[in-house]
Chains A and B, each alone.
Chain A
Amino acid sequence: EDKVVQSPLSLVVHEGDTVTLNCSYEVTNFRSLLWYKQEKKAPTFLFMLTSSGIEKKSGRLSSILDKKELFSILNITATQTGDSAIYLCAVRRTSGTYKYIFGTGTRLKVLA
Chain B
Amino acid sequence: SQTIHQWPATLVQPVGSPLSLECTVEGTSNPNLYWYRQAAGRGLQLLFYSVGIGQISSEVPQNLSASRPQDRQFILSSKKLLLSDSGFYLCAWAEGPLLAKDEQYFGPGTRLTVT
Contacts and interface: CB of A to CB of B under 8 A. Distances in A.
B106 A104 contact: no
Interface of A: 6, 31-32, 34, 36, 41-45, 48, 50, 86, 88, 90, 92, 95-96, 98-105, 107
Contacts of B106: 36, 42-44
B33 to A, nearest CB: 10
Interface residues of chain B: helix, strand, loop or mixed (majority): strand
A44 B103 CA distance: 10
Nearest to B97: A95
A107 B41 contact: yes
B108 A32 contact: no
Contacts of A36: 106
Given A98-B49, A105-B43, A41 B108 contact: yes
B25 interface: no
Residue from B34, B41, B44, B51 having most chain A Cβ neighbours under 10 A: B44
